[in-house]
Amino acid sequence: MSWPTITHGKGWWDDCLTLTPLYTWFEMGTGDADVATMAVLYGDYFDIDLTDISGDASVYWEYPENPGVGNNIGIGSLTYPYVFYRYKCGNATVKAKIELVWSGGAVKTVLADTNSETWTYGATTITGAMGQNIDHVRLYATTAVGHVYYDFVCIGQAVFTFPSASLVELTGAFPRHANIPIPSKDGVAPQNLGSEPAQVRITADMDVDDTTWNYGKVFDQISHDLSSDLWQWLTLPAHKRQFKATLAEPPRYPFENGRLSLNLLLEEYKLADARAFENYAERFGHIT
């Protein structure tokens, strides 16, 4: 049996909702006649549009500008060794690519030139040189003319795998329908008021594995960081789904009959209209 997993402890991340002022991305790699632009799409995705490949067919935007003085990301890969991201290509030939730059100047490829025409989640662990920090992130469009979209890129602490669970209940997204009374009309006017996000209820006996559960302290961390770290990446192997999720209510740890338990309610997190730029399988990260 495969149990759910959830990320925690982001050291740096960009949710791709604005080019500035939260993070200011700088255009790089277009000095050899390649032509490209970078914009925010639907308030929730970066769109790098490579329109001319007269140069080396590779452009990127970097945060912060390199070389930068005093404005580097400056986080250590020993503390934050986990990088995860989500991307999509606009056609079958253009490719995405992600790099990190260490404080000593070395470049680490997190995502090699890759094409996927559907939203794809990826993750990797990294190891940097002793005493060096991660100072820069680069997002690319390469190989051919076209759009490359990024939903997020995050440098985090770890992924927590639930040791067990007595219940993992996924409640799918469901529309809000209202029947509006109309004066002098025999009947009502049905209205679509959008939809509620999907929810996941997880309950578990934490005494099954004290060491791995660690008394649920990882959920204390997620709760503590929630004011700024608004979501985590949740994977549900048994349901073949994965998506952004946030706490829908405080974690609960009932201690009953000498046993410590967990009661956790999560809900789907999304800034853009869920139908704006993703089909249903992409939205819920259907795993084949």
**pLDDT number for residue 1:** 62
Q: How confident is the model at residue 70 (pLDDT cuts 50, 70, 90)?
A: low
Average pLDDT, the chain: 92
Joined tokens for residue 186: 């025999």
Instruction: Report pTM.
Output: 0.92
Q: Where in the chain is the domain with CATH 2.60.120.260?
A: 9-157
DSSP labels for 186-220?
A: SSEEEEEEEEEPPEEEEEEEGGG-HHHHGGGHHHH
Buried b (16+ CB within 10 A) or exposed e, 154-191: bbbbebbebbebeebeeeebeeeeeeeeeeeeeeeeee
Q: What is the pLDDT of residues 43-57, one digit of tens each?
A: 999 999 999 999 999
Q: Are 198 and 239 in contact (CB under 8 A)?
A: no
Q: Does domain 9-157 have CATH number 3.10.129.10?
A: no
- Inform me whether the pLDDT recorded for 95 exceeds 70: yes
Q: How confident is the model at residue 178 (pLDDT cuts 50, 70, 90)?
A: confident
Rounded average pLDDT over 36-44 = 96
- Inform me whether the pLDDT recorded for 69 exceeds 70: no
**In percent, how much of the chain has pLDDT > 90?**
76
CATH number of 161-283: 2.40.30
List 102's β-bridge partners, or say none: 134
Query: Which of 43-47, 59-63, 128-132, 249-253 has the least mean pLDDT?
Result: 128-132
**In percent, how much of the chain has pLDDT > 70?**
96
Rounded average pLDDT over 147-156 = 98
- Inform me whether the pLDDT recorded for 73 exceeds 70: yes
Going 211 to 213 to 214 to 218, the CA torsion angle's sign is: positive
Rounded average pLDDT over 203-210 = 89
Q: What is the pLDDT of residues 219-240, one digit of tens each?
A: 999 999 999 999 999 999 999 9
- Inform me whether the pLDDT recorded for 152 exceeds 70: yes
Query: Which of 155-164, 192-201, 249-258 has the least mean pLDDT?
Result: 192-201
Q: Where in the chain is the domain with CATH 2.40.30?
A: 161-283
**pLDDT number for residue 204:** 96
- Inform me whether the pLDDT recorded for 12 exceeds 80: yes
**CB neighbours of 233 closer than 8 A, spacing ≥ 6?**
6, 7, 84, 121, 154, 242, 243, 244, 245
- Inform me whether the pLDDT recorded for 92 exceeds 70: yes
**pLDDT number for residue 244:** 98
Rounded average pLDDT over 239-266 = 97
**CB neighbours of 121 closer than 8 A, spacing ≥ 6?**
84, 85, 86, 233, 242, 285
